[in-house]
Amino acid sequence: MKGSVHEALSAARHVQPGCSEKDAVWQSGKLTLYRYRAIVRPASTAPLLIVYALVNRPYMMDLQQDRSLIRGLLEAGLDVYLVDWGYPDGADRFTTLADYIDQQLGECVEHILATRGIAALNILGVCQGGVMSLCFAALYPQRVRNLITMVTPVDFHTHSDILSKWVRGIDISAFIGSGNVPGDVLSQLFLSLMPFRLTQQKYVDLLSGSADPAHIENFMRVESWIFDSPDQAGAALREFVLWFYQQNRLVQGGLTIAGRAVDLRTLRLPILNLIGKRDHLVPPEASRALRRLVGSADYTDVEFDLGHIGMYISARAQRQVPKQIAEWLIARD
């Protein structure tokens, strides 16, 4: 057993994530907008723009053939775009949330609308990207036809939100200073939520488990994604922690982006909220809060018995999540 696990690990050390063909259709600075190539006859829906988080890389949405939410969406005939924020460096230290949401995301949307000759598109916001998508939809409601949020925190002051508890007393401006926050710091933060499982048991299980090359390659892809943590633009992270984690402005009010108020009550569009019941990063109740905050009459939340990462890559997620998204969108387009 030992030798074959070692051999499989050695053979898998250069595995690359990603399986679906895509084209870079627009670039600005470090941002790249991708459009995935269709693999079946297109459904008659507006394009779906996936807005991923600033922390970690978006290829988790298309990790490998049998672990790809994007592939599931393509198989359902959806026209999928993806925002890749890139890797911020020192020159991005003053990039704010307004720059990301109002400017960069806004320009991506404008590009898609202009090239497709349509007035509005569908958005799927993931985790922190869901928060950004909510803000964008509130700022530009006529640009967004349907909104899907996935493992998205809305109420940042729920009882089981450990990240929120940890940062509540931190002077975030002093912590960040004028620089970026290294991705390694965030990796450490996430590991310290479950240190015994994530820094030890996981590897013991790997080395005492199956030597199946596919299993090992899957592990290595996830492993490389977990630690592929971009540095965070200092100004944007400071605003995100202060406004959302500390001041809980989506619930308490008072949020402004680029000088304009963001009020979730103004959202009237159809909303699908996808929640992981075993999410240790975004507690389910933090996502459930969206229902009571938006003004939409067409609101649906669906809970899956999955964790945060399992929502993207578990076998159960592959069967359930893309199907749920596609059926919900097709019913409304």
Partner 1 sequence: MKPDAWQELRDGLVSMATRGWASANGPAPDAPPGFAPFAAAAEGFEAAARAYRSAANAAAGQGDAARLFAHALRGLFADFPVPWKTTLDSALHGVAPGNLFDQPALGASREHQQRGQQLAEAARRVADAQGRLQILWSDAMREAAATFTTRLDSTRGTPAHPAPVGELYNTWIDCAEDAYARMIHGENFCTTLAELVNAASQWRQALQAAMEQSAKLLDLPTRSEIDSLAQRLKAVEHELRAARRAPDDSGQGNATRGKGPTRKRKTASKAAKAAGRSRHGTIRR
Give the active site residues. 127
Tell me how many residues contact partner 1 (CB under 8 A): 67
Tell me the closest approach of the beta carbon of residue 325 to partner 1, in angstroms: 25
Backbone CA torsion sign across 59, 60, 63, 68: negative
Which residue in the set 21, 66, 89, 110 belongs to the binding site for partner 1 (CB under 8 A)?
Answer: 110
Please select the residue that binds partner 1; options are 67, 71, 143, 145, rule is CB under 8 A. Answer: 143
Of 192, 199, 195, the C-alpha closest to 223 is 199
140-176 burial by CB neighbour count: b if 16+ within 10 A, else e? beebbbbbbbbbbbbbbbbeebebbeebeeeebeeeb
| Interface with partner 1 in residues 287-306 (CB under 8 A) | none
13 touches partner 1 by CB under 8 A: yes
Candidates 332, 333, 322; CA nearest to 150 is: 322
- In whole angstroms, the minimum distance from the beta carbon of 271 to partner 1 comes to 19
User: Which residue in this structure is represented by tokens 């940042």?
Assistant: 156
d(CA 77, CA 291) in angstroms, rounded, equals: 28
Per-residue x/- mask for partner 1, residues 207 to 246, rule CB under 8 A? xx--------------------------------------
Q: How many residues does the chain have?
A: 333
Compute, in degrees rounded to 10, the torsion defined by CA atoms 131, 135, 136, 139.
170
Q: Is 171 in the site for partner 1 (CB under 8 A)?
A: yes
Nearest partner of 130 among 150, 145, 113, 109, judged by Cα: 150
Q: Which residues 35-74 are close enough to bind partner 1 by CB under 8 A? A: 35
Contacts with partner 1, residue ranges (CB under 8 A): 1-3, 6-7, 9-10, 13, 23-28, 31, 33, 35, 91, 93-94, 102-103, 106-107, 110-111, 113-117, 119, 139-143, 160, 162, 165-171, 174-175, 177-179, 188-189, 191-197, 199-201, 203-204, 207-208
